Homo-oligomer: A and B are copies of this chain.
Amino acid sequence: MKMFIHEIKENENVDSSFLVKEKTSGLAKTGNAFLKLKLGDRSGEIEGRIWTSADALAQSFERDDFVRVRGKAVSFQERLQINIAHIERMGEEEIDASDFFRKTERDVEEMLKSLVDIAEQVKTPCLNRLLHLFWEDGAFVDRFKTAPASKSVHHSYLGGLLEHTLSLAQLVSRNAGHYQGLNQDLLLAGSILHDLGKIDELSYRRSIDYSDEGRLLGHIILGLERIEDKIRQIPDFPRDLAMVVKHLILSHHGQDIWGSPKKPMTLEAVMLHYLDDLDAKINGIQQFLKDHLPEGAKWSAYHRIFEQSFYAPTSWEPLELPDKIAKTELEGTE
């Protein structure tokens, strides 16, 4: 069974699987070579050192490999590290990815099914066709089920993109009829397509980071390319419709300073922007609170991107009034 890094205690024996995040060699005072590793799993990172047969062992695995490690946890300069007695490479099939990477807590296949179901609400033929072309694209679906929705701000875990897309599509489905005159099919299709460029913007095989394309072009452009590519496969897809679909993607960040080259100019684009922003922000805060709201505290740590702290008292009992107030109230209203 996997022993997680945050469970390791001083002077204990360690026998578990880890991901090799860094691998460097050094010279000990004795003049012998040693290996310095940064090992990681879902729960954190720990240093590991190989003092014996370092040169030989160094050949047997590389950075980004999974390894089985046996050794002992010792304290060095107030931090734990593992003196490694034995190390060997593991195949990816031997490990459980969720031990190593943050993943959505929801079932991916169920989420995908729910999203496809919502997509079926889209009745405009060519829009419905457009969505189908994506579901039929196996390579796309594989990445779409795995990708996170951002590097760190919100839904930044495997499956996060799907989770965010589904949540937004649900919000859109539930509220699209609240205002008259909006094209609900357009809005739904937009919600499903809006962030799909993130499957290319980010790289997420070992850790979540931006790809070269992601940094140089960004997910809005990368998403437009994928959509353009599908539209080209639909004969006589109306140019005007393609234009407003692309405008939804292009403008969903709302403003140039948030990365949208165009502000939302249609009612659908305005609504999509607000609901997308709402979903990203709420998830971003909730994800942040999980890690940065100390046990029992009312205030989170400072969130550097949102430039503020959040107030989240864990219990809301004060909201309950004592009995006598409740009575006064009931009398008062009658």
A residues lining the B interface (CB < 8 Å): 10-11, 27, 29, 75, 77, 124-129, 132, 136, 167, 170-171, 174-175, 178-181, 183, 185-186, 212-213, 215-218, 220-221, 224-225, 228, 234-241, 243-244, 246-247, 250, 256-257, 259-263, 265-267, 270-271, 274-275, 277-278, 281-282, 285-286, 298-299, 308-313, 316, 318-322, 324-326, 328-329, 332-333
Shortest CB distance A223–B (Å): 11
Residues from chain B with Cβ under 8 Å of A220 in the complex: 261
Cα distance A11–B27 when bound, in Å? Answer: 11
Cα distance A128–B171 when bound, in Å? Answer: 27
Residue of B124, B185, B256, B271 near A259 (CB, 8 A) is B256
Residues from chain B with Cβ under 8 Å of A298 in the complex: 212
Contact B126 A236 (CB under 8 A): no
Task: State the majority secondary structure of interface residues on A.
Answer: helix
Residues from chain B with Cβ under 8 Å of A179 in the complex: 282, 286
Cα distance A126–B246 when bound, in Å? Answer: 28
> Which residue on chain B has the smallest CB distance to residue A253?
B261
Contact A285 B256 (CB under 8 A): no
**Contact flag A282-B311 (CB < 8 Å), given A218-B261, A224-B221, A256-B259:** no
**Contact flag A282-B262 (CB < 8 Å), given A221-B250, A247-B216:** no
Residue among A29, A186, A220, A244 with the highest chain B CB neighbour number at 10 A: A244
Contact B275 A278 (CB under 8 A): yes
Contact B183 A319 (CB under 8 A): yes
Cα distance A285–B268 when bound, in Å? Answer: 11
**Contact flag A215-B299 (CB < 8 Å), given A183-B316, A310-B265, A311-B265:** yes
Contact B175 A321 (CB under 8 A): no
Contact A247 B325 (CB under 8 A): no
Cα distance A124–B326 when bound, in Å? Answer: 9
